[in-house]
Amino acid sequence: MKVDGGLIGHSLGEVPAAARALEALGYDGVFTFEGPHEPFFPLLLAAEHTDRVELTTAIAIAFARTPMTLANLAWDLQQMSGGRFVLGLGTQIRPHIEKRFSMPWSRPAARMRELVLALRSIFDRWQHGTPLDFRGEFYTHTLMTPMFDPGPCEQGPPRVVLAGVGPVMTEVAGEVADGFMVHPFTTERFLRETTMPALERGLAASDRSRADFEIAFPAMVAIGDTDEDLHRELEGYRYRIAFYGSTPAYKVVLDAHGWGDLQPELNRLTKSGDWSTMQELVTDDVVAAFVTSGTLEQIPQRLADRYGTLVDRVSFTAPADADPERVRSTIRAIQTASHDSASPHER
């Protein structure tokens, strides 16, 4: 498996050093996400200050932008990075799209499918000079004059990967994207029983095989050398699981384990701001289903045992005070997982 590290929580001025450090530790890729800050600018700096790592938005919010806006951003980053950029897209949820970004929301899976096809059409125009004539239900792109055409990219168009949870969006990813980013709020059972069959249906619809497709998983990983350290890490994840679990769209993951009744109760508590009670409802069994825990030396095999036959790359964040050589060894151990634990994509 490949291993990715996050460019999370850094100011723009800190990004060059942070990106260099992640590359020096042996990570295969670095990623940003759209939270308090914009996800593309840090990757521009990372492209300038690294040589090898892949650079991924994980994720940028697709429906906050138009296909043309996304295409311009992705094309420039692909050229700047020498072909290392990956455009990772997700939908967010309706209240954010409508109330935070003031953008339209409707039929998210169909809209996302069309957005990716529109991107492909724009990329094809720039790379091969194909007339731009995309006419869809949600997006129309029919004008591209020479003044606004950046011309072909030496490394070819960037890859486009999609994030999702439910089977409908997952199937869309299998049909039109180059890869899939599993949501952190995912268990091994849900991956096997829901995610993988949906991806296979999507791949079949586009007449592709699993070998043509990459699956990335930002796993919840708790790392500690002592019981006290691990307890502290796991309690942090208990809060995060309670937050994710309150989202109606994520109930499907809890349903896979028979925990679906937890979601509406968590949702009710978010509205009253009772976060402490929310955490109490997330039992140790629930935490254990979502979180892989152990020392740095134990994590590689435990990740391989859970996800090695399912995903092609994982991400994790080592403790800030961890010895760099231990982190390097952990990354190498994940990358060189045994054949029995290797994903189908690697076999």
Whole-number Cα distances in Å, 139 to 111, 113, 284, 323, 334: 9, 11, 46, 50, 41
**Length, in residues, of the chain:** 347
User: Which amino acid is it at 189?
Assistant: R
CA angle 227, 231, 237 (to 5 degrees): 145
Residue 282 to residue 287: CA distance in whole angstroms: 7
Where along the chain do the CATH 3.20.20.30 domains lie?
2-222+295-341
- Look at the block and give the residue holding tokens 């350290």: 229
| Overall average pLDDT of the 163-178 stretch | 96
For residue 24, pLDDT over 90 is answered with yes
| Overall average pLDDT of the 3-24 stretch | 95
| CB-based burial, 309-329: b 16+ in 10 Å, e otherwise | bbbbbbbbebeeeeeeeebee
| Overall average pLDDT of the 294-309 stretch | 95
pLDDT interval class at 191 (50, 70, 90): very high
If one counts every other C-beta atom within 10 angstroms of the C-beta of residue 154, the result is 8
Average pLDDT, rounded, for the chain: 94
Strands 140-141 and 134-135: antiparallel
Comparing CA positions, the residue from 51, 11, 9, 45 lying closest to residue 28 is: 51
Q: Alpha-carbon Rg of the chain, whole angstroms?
A: 20
pLDDT computed for residue 342 by the predictor: 43
- Residues of the chain with pLDDT > 90: what percent? 91
pLDDT computed for residue 128 by the predictor: 97
Q: Is the dihedral of CA 122, 124, 125, 127 positive or negative?
A: positive
Residue 145 to residue 219: CA distance in whole angstroms: 44
| Overall average pLDDT of the 16-42 stretch | 96
Note whether 40 and 15 are within 8 A (CB).
no
For residue 334, pLDDT over 70 is answered with yes
pTM of the model: 0.92
| Overall average pLDDT of the 42-57 stretch | 98
The fold of 2-222+295-341 is TIM Barrel (3.20.20)
pLDDT interval class at 347 (50, 70, 90): very low
SS (H, E, C) the chain: CEEEEECCCCCHHHHHHHHHHHHHHCCCEEEECCCCCCCHHHHHHHHHHCCCCEEEECCEEHHHCCHHHHHHHHHHHHHHCCCCEEEEEECCCHHHHHHHCCCCCCCHHHHHHHHHHHHHHHHHHHHHCCCCCEECCCCEECCCCHHHCCCCCCCCCCEEEEEECCHHHHHHHHHHCCEEEECCCCCHHHHHHHHHHHHHHHHHHCCCCHHHCEEEECCEEEECCCHHHHHHHHHHHHHHHHHHHCCHHHHHHHHCCCCCCHHHHHHHHHHHCCHHHHHHHCCHHHHHHHEEEECCCCHHHHHHHHHCCCCCEEECCCCCCCCHHHHHHHHHHHHCCCHHHCCCCCC
